[in-house]
A and B are shown apart, each in its own frame.
Chain A
Amino acid sequence: DARVTQTPRHKVTEMGQEVTMRCQPILGHNTVFWYRQTMMQGLELLAYFRNRAPLDDSGMPKDRFSAEMPDATLATLKIQPSEPRDSAVYFCASGLRGAGEQFFGPGTRLTVL
């Protein structure tokens, strides 16, 4: 049963610390998305990749967030330095170009104190 995996599932850190979240997309999927979900803002698209190339990261605060795909099996989202307003659940999703459907990982619940 192919699934998107994310690590860590929970992260508590202090303001100013670096946070790295990892995602393993479903094997064979060529698009990867990073979302952030909060009570106030709902579901927000941060960035997405096709064939490891970033297509759009306009939803991401550039000064502190960065997203990469070092290889086809790993996507990373990094926050440096972290701030309390970054507290949220971060979801990774993967899919196939043109199919539209996205498969979501379990999310990383980030708390920045």
Chain B
Amino acid sequence: AQSVSQHNHHVILSEAASLELGCNYSYGGTVNLFWYVQYPGQHLQLLLKYFSGDPLVKGIKGFEAEFIKSKFSFNLRKPSVQWSDTAEYFCAVNGGDSNYQLIWGAGTKLIIKP
């Protein structure tokens, strides 16, 4: 069965620090990959997605993610975080027989100290 692993459940950073959130998935076929963000009290919103092509994907608000097929990874990065990036971040995978649903990671709660 497919699964998605997010290594860190909680991350605390200071403003201007660099961010990298890990995401690994288990599936051997073609996948579509997503990062969603959930700000406090709000719904999930798409940050960025990878379907094909350039493995370095740029999303909204300065976020980017790199798909490394050999490592089954899709890590999220941002060079300099802001207090407003405080949120929960979810990695998700769609592929194979899960044609319609996303397989979700457990989420990483990010707290940015001002």
A residues near B, CB below 8 A? 31, 33, 42-43, 45, 48, 50, 55-56, 91, 93, 95, 97-98, 100-107
Contact = CB atoms under 8 A, between A and B. Distances in A.
Interface of A is mostly: strand
Contacts, number: 40
Interface of B: 32, 34, 42-46, 49, 51, 90, 94, 99-102, 104, 106-107
A42 B32 contact: no
Given A43-B90, A91-B44, A107-B43, A100 B102 contact: yes
Contacts of B94: 100
A93 B94 CA distance: 15
B86 to A, nearest CB: 17
Contacts of A97: 99-100
Contact of B104 (A43, A56, A105): A43
B99 A104 contact: no
